[in-house]
Chains A and B, each alone.
Chain A
Amino acid sequence: MPSTRHVAIIGAGQAAARAIAALRDAGYDGRITLYGEETELPYERPPLSKEALFGAAGIAPATIYDDAFYRSNGVELALGVRIARLDPATGRIHADTGEGIQADRILLATGARARPCAIPGVDADRVLTLRNLADARRLRARLASTQRLVLLGGGFIGLEIAAGAARLGCAVTVIEAKPRLIERAVSAEVSATVHALHASHGVTIKTSSGIVRARQGHAETELLLDDGSTCAGDLIVAGVGAQPNAELAREAGLACDNGIEVDRDCRTRSAIVWAAGDVAWRPHAFLGGAARLESWDNAEIHGDRAGRAIAASFGAPAPADTPDAPPWFWTDQYDLNLQIVGCVTDSDRMVTRGGARDTGPVIFHFRGSRLRGAELLSAGRDRSPVRRLVQQGWSGMPDRLGDTGVSLKELLNQAREVAGAAQGEKQ
């Protein structure tokens, strides 16, 4: 591989960092330039709604690799640089300063941004969102003097902020449009558990609620809700989802759906452009179709896959086509660590496995006779066997998964034996 080759990575988040590690690991020895709008080295986002806001240590980015990594891997850092446009046919890239850059391969890892939440009658700067380190800094500073906090949206981000603020002694109200919390990602049972947990910490939760009107005071904002009640806050934070930063790709003529369309190798319709992470719309065999996933785990998987596929396009061995693992998300609220594996929102049968030793319960979700997912409530220890079990599938009686007399390891071995035998019969 001649070292004059140039891979440009646009967007400096987690998928980008993982792609760099994978490129070098796969033997690519050409140039790599990392372009990022923020001035920080790539960092992890999960802490932004947790330690970064409420930790005693204060705010410091959880960088994925330190500068020595980029130095020793010969990565050119172009941070604080916005890329304005690119040509997917020639590999020509233009920074918004007008500077032109020539690349042989381009990886778009531009991520997603917080969906704006306009409230009629409220100045936009009174409604904060949380997506990056600058947002977290702003929010942390404001939270220190906040007595009444209103959160729009009862999803992961909103509820993590609610939990931290409630612990600080804020009066917290969560306003959610849907009938239950985190409806998109967890089962009704876990929604109820999370709801009760917040209520027990004094958080007011308004589900199926919308804002009718608002009145701005000097420091506080009063919101009139559609059930006729009002709530007031001196700080409003919106956590109503994110949207992909796909404009660069779309304007370049690359196919975009809910994100940039890519194949399993994270390659776009252009032979020299890849996309990875929150911005990518990629086929997912476990989910049975293409999906755009916003998670730590997905950024890891995409970054690694894209890096190896780009190296392969220069002649390195093709990446192994490992089966797609069930998607995995987690959230920390108070002392609850909730992990979600696979599909848990459309199940028609649940089996609860009571917590063993010092861990909480695991709720397995079936659709028909198929095991499709699981929710782990402070049971991180069980995550690995549970995820493998969901991936492997379970053809025994569903209730067997609830029998704590049989370890998860044994259940996993049984599932593998059955799958192995079925494979043997086929051959």
Chain B
Amino acid sequence: MTWREVAKVVDVPEGEAIQVCIDGEPVALYNLDGTFHATHDVCTHALAHLSDGYIDGDCVECPLHAGVFHIPTGKPVSGPVQKAIRIYPVKVENEVVFIQGS
């Protein structure tokens, strides 16, 4: 369980997400009003990237079929999604964002 540096705070505008990579897996890194969260980037329903999704409050809507996940917990909220999305621990130190890989 190692912390990996994935981005600088300034790389992720508030209310948006970017795609980063951890252990070969695509991960979406979100900035929700200055608090950072990370989920797996591939929707649990079909092949689409949540980092391309629409963020509304603390939820993200998949750009393909409009499945909605709660970002802090990864729980499915609405739409066709049934399975929760994997979440990753995140920490910020000296304006640098770290995600804990496996």
Contact = CB atoms under 8 A, between A and B. Distances in A.
Contacts of A69: 82
Given A62-B46, A409-B15, A383 B82 contact: no
A384 interface: yes
Contact of A383 (B46, B54, B56, B80): B54
B91 to A, nearest CB: 27
Contacts of A296: 65
Contacts of A300: 79-80
Given A62-B46, A296-B65, A409-B15, A381 B82 contact: no
B5 to A, nearest CB: 24
Interface bracket on B: 10 to 19
Interface residues of A, number: 17
B74 interface: no
Contact of A381 (B15, B56, B63, B65): B63
Interface in A39-78: 44, 62, 64-65, 69
A384 B48 contact: no
B53 A381 contact: yes
B58 interface: no
Interface string A324-343: 00001010000000000000
B64 interface: yes
Contact of B52 (A62, A297, A328, A380): A380
Contacts of A283: none
Given A65-B82, A300-B80, A383 B15 contact: no
Interface string B2-24: 00000000000001000000000
Interface of A: 44, 62, 64-65, 69, 296-297, 300, 328, 330, 380-385, 409
Given A300-B79, A381-B54, A409-B15, 15 more contacts: A65-B82, A69-B82, A296-B65, A297-B66, A300-B80, A328-B66, A380-B52, A381-B63, A382-B54, A383-B66, A384-B53, A384-B54, A384-B61, A384-B66, A385-B54
6 contacts: A44-B46, A300-B80, A380-B48, A380-B52, A384-B56, A384-B63
